């Protein structure tokens, strides 16, 4: 009891004594946990609505149709509908081994829908008024099909801004919208499966082949209405929904009843899931890349923070050991401090992540679960907390092991870790003006920290470089990836979130590194001032010591950092880098200059605060 109190007290007091450092540590871990939360929530958001839609609608394991796929890239162009001949094939399939239930075949016709001035191609499926056991679309609004009434797929209704009660026309005939529903038998608009020859997404140059549906929406009518709409019975296509004894074996079922043997084309529920969640998948890739970059930055700032405190911690540890603290107690004290920060950072990251997530998922309409805010599952909360704790544990291992190993006497006598001296840097610096001379010496004292500063800026700049490329790509060719405007908007937001996080964490890093340098150099700065350097020269030197690595980092971040990162992303996503426009040279130059200026501005504040401290106070503090 007493020992727990002690461990808690030491942790809390130490954090309180260094509020600024604790806050920076918190920010660094929080940026990583927030991004991780977003990534995980998005992963759930991608999978869950489809699963719940599938459960709510008795979703099929395999959808078979009478259409046949052709091999045009980007175009699913079946041969002309097989008419009644195909129906027999479908019915045969319903009796295949492994099929436990089915609905259909249902007739499908292609039509042009007009609603409040907008026109779109649709595939209209004729359904029975009675509910089916397989694929009975779940109504979000209104009722199910009646003669003269049309039910729209939810994402399509949303894109057209059509509601229940609105009048629409199909090939010129009037219908009333009686319902809006979701299904798991087809991906939501604009990713519909092509029962008729159709294409989704980008419009290639030149006229599309005649009769090709473009971004068709899905609507349901009564079977009678579909037959009436069709110009002749032979132009009808048919779809059938199959339920298998083993849903996981859907792929195997399709292979066994092979498409090439003249059997009807089939899609498994996994195929549909992939299409339905493609957008969320793309946003998730962006966030995961972001999380990686942020993770690297967080590690850099943690190393600086933990490293900067090592000397101080060693003294505390020596003291605890001298009054009888065992090695495990000492480790507990060190760990408790970072665990506290990590737990708060995990909670804050989960909160921030779940607040931002709706921005990235809201246009995934067309599935049951996507209407509400994506919620945080226990597994997401668990993973985020675990990662935060792992970071805390990593930050503690080195000092804890050192503490257990170090001689108590040495620890007590320990002044700061003796700075390294890099001889040639000091030799060069002797020929320079005072601030630059001091700056180089500051950097030379802690070469590892200078390397971290360079790395941190390089990571940030290469991230920004890639974001510029992606942004230009989305601006130039919004439909290139098969995205509509709303989806481009979502990807933009994902980019924005990553950019903001990246820049904030980079800013935190710059401040952390400068502050560590200020603390580290306060004694020599005070001495320099005691020997006649002005506070301005000293603070300029400290800021310059950060700006030099920033310049190096910015240049490295553009080349090779940015190019390498972009290539890696293309490799990971199977993307096509040739279509991307690389930033212009002036943009890159501006990026480097802006980085240096921002770092200079950011570091000026702590550097000045550090240089302002009275000389005597600093020199005396060095003695204690």
Residue 306 Cβ vs another protein, minimum distance, rounded to whole Å: 18
Q: Are 236 and 167 in contact (CB under 8 A)?
A: no
N-terminal to C-terminal alpha carbon distance within the chain? 32
Beta strands in 337-399 (DSSP E): none
What does the block give as tokens for 500?
Answer: 């903001």
Q: In this complex, which beta carbon is closest to another protein, that of residue 323 or of residue 378?
A: 323
Q: In this complex, which beta carbon is closest to another protein, that of residue 330 or of residue 466?
A: 330
DSSP β-bridge partners for residue 102: 242
Place of tokens 């909670």: 347
Query: 3-class SS at 502?
Result: helix
The three-state DSSP-derived secondary structure of 45-82 is HHHHHHHHHHHHHCCCCEEEECCCCCCCCCCECCCCCC
Q: In this complex, which beta carbon is closest to another protein, that of residue 4 or of residue 386?
A: 4
Residue 496 Cβ vs another protein, minimum distance, rounded to whole Å: 41
Residue 617 Cβ vs another protein, minimum distance, rounded to whole Å: 12
Q: How many CB atoms lie within 10 A of CB 395?
A: 26
* Torsion angle, alpha carbons of 448, 451, 453, 459, to 10: -140
Q: In this complex, which beta carbon is closest to another protein, that of residue 8 or of residue 142?
A: 8
**Euclidean distance between CA atoms 291 and 270, whole angstroms:** 27
Residue 319 Cβ vs another protein, minimum distance, rounded to whole Å: 5
Residue 324 Cβ vs another protein, minimum distance, rounded to whole Å: 2
Residue 19 Cβ vs another protein, minimum distance, rounded to whole Å: 12
Residue 5 Cβ vs another protein, minimum distance, rounded to whole Å: 5
Query: 3-class SS at 315?
Result: helix
| Residue partners of 397: CB distance under 8 A and separation at least 6 | none
- Provide the pairing of β-strand 167-170 with 99-115: antiparallel
Query: 3-class SS at 221?
Result: strand
Q: In this complex, which beta carbon is closest to another protein, that of residue 20 or of residue 409?
A: 409
Q: In this complex, which beta carbon is closest to another protein, that of residue 55 or of residue 409?
A: 409
Residue 404 Cβ vs another protein, minimum distance, rounded to whole Å: 8
How many Å separate Cα 613 from the centre of its chain? 43
Q: In this complex, which beta carbon is closest to another protein, that of residue 119 or of residue 326?
A: 326
**Euclidean distance between CA atoms 219 and 399, whole angstroms:** 65
Residue 490 Cβ vs another protein, minimum distance, rounded to whole Å: 48
Q: In this complex, which beta carbon is closest to another protein, that of residue 56 or of residue 319?
A: 319
Instruction: Give the binding site for another protein (CB under 8 A).
Output: 1-3, 5-6, 9-10, 13-14, 16-17, 316, 318-319, 321-329, 404, 407-409, 412, 624
Place of tokens 């921002």: 598
* Pick from 134, 350, 123, 376: nearest CA to 247: 134
Alpha helices in 121-256 (DSSP H): 154-160, 223-229, 250-256
Q: In this complex, which beta carbon is closest to another protein, that of residue 412 or of residue 507?
A: 412
């Amino acid at each position: 009891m007493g020992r727990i109190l002690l461990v808690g007290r030491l942790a809390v007091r130490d954090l309180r004594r260094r509020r600024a450092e604790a806050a920076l540590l918190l920010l660094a871990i929080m940026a990583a946990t927030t991004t991780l939360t977003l990534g995980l929530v998005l992963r759930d958001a991608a999978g869950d609505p489809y699963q719940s839609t599938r459960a709510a609608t008795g979703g099929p394991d395999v959808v078979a149709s009478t259409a046949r796929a052709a091999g045009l890239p980007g175009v699913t162009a079946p041969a002309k509908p097989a008419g009644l001949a195909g129906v027999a094939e479908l019915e045969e399939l319903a009796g295949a081994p492994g099929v436990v239930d089915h609905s259909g075949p249902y007739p499908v016709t292609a039509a042009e829908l007009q609603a409040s001035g907008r026109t779109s191609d649709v595939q209209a499926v004729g359904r029975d008024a009675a509910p089916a056991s397989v694929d009975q679309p779940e109504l979000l609004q209104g009722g199910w099909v009646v003669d003269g009434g049309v039910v729209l797929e939810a994402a399509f209704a949303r894109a057209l801004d059509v509601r229940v009660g609105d009048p629409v026309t199909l090939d010129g005939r009037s219908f009333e919208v009686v319902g809006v529903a979701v299904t798991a038998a087809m991906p939501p608009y604009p990713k519909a499966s092509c029962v008729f020859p159709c294409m989704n997404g980008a419009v290639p140059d030149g006229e599309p082949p005649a009769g090709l549906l473009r971004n068709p929406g899905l609507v349901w009518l009564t079977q009678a209405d579909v037959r009436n709409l069709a110009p002749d019975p032979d132009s009808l296509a048919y779809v059938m929904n199959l339920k298998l004894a083993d849903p996981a074996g859907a792929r195997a079922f399709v292979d066994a009843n092979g498409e090439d043997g003249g059997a009807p084309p089939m899609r498994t529920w996994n195929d549909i899931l992939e299409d339905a969640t493609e957008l969320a998948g793309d946003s998730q890739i962006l966030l995961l890349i972001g999380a990686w970059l942020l993770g690297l930055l967080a590690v850099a700032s943690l190393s600086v923070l933990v490293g900067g405190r090592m000397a101080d911690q060693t003294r505390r540890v020596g003291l605890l050991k001298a009054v009888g603290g065992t090695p495990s107690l000492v480790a507990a004290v060190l760990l408790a401090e970072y665990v506290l920060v990590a737990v708060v950072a995990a909670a804050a990251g989960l909160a921030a992540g779940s607040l931002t997530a709706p921005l990235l998922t809201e246009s995934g309409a067309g599935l049951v679960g996507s209407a509400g805010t994506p919620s945080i599952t226990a597994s997401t909360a668990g993973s985020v907390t675990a990662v935060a704790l792992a970071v805390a544990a990593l930050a503690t291992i080195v000092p804890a092991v050192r503490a257990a190993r170090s001689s108590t006497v040495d620890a007590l006598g320990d002044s700061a870790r003796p700075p390294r001296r890099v001889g040639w840097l000091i030799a060069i610096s002797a020929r320079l003006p005072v601030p630059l001379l001091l700056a180089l010496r500051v950097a030379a004292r802690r070469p590892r920290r200078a390397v971290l500063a360079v790395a941190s800026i390089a990571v940030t700049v290469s991230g920004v470089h890639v974001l510029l490329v992606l942004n230009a790509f989305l601006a130039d060719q919004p439909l290139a990836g098969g995205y509509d405007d709303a989806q481009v908007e979502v990807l933009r937001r994902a980019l924005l979130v990553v950019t903001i996080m990246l820049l904030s964490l980079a800013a935190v890093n710059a401040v952390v590194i400068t502050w560590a340098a200020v603390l580290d150099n306060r004694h020599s700065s005070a001495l320099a001032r005691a020997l006649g350097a002005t506070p301005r020269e000293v603070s300029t030197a400290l800021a310059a010591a950060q700006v030099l690595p920033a310049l190096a980092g910015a240049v490295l971040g553009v080349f090779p950092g940015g190019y390498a990162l972009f290539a890696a992303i293309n490799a990971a996503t199977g993307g096509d880098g040739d279509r991307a426009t690389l930033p212009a040279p002036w943009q890159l130059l501006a990026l480097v200059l802006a980085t240096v200026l921002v770092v200079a501005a950011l570091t000026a504040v702590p550097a000045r605060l550090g240089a302002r401290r009275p000389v005597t106070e600093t020199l005396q503090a060095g003695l204690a």
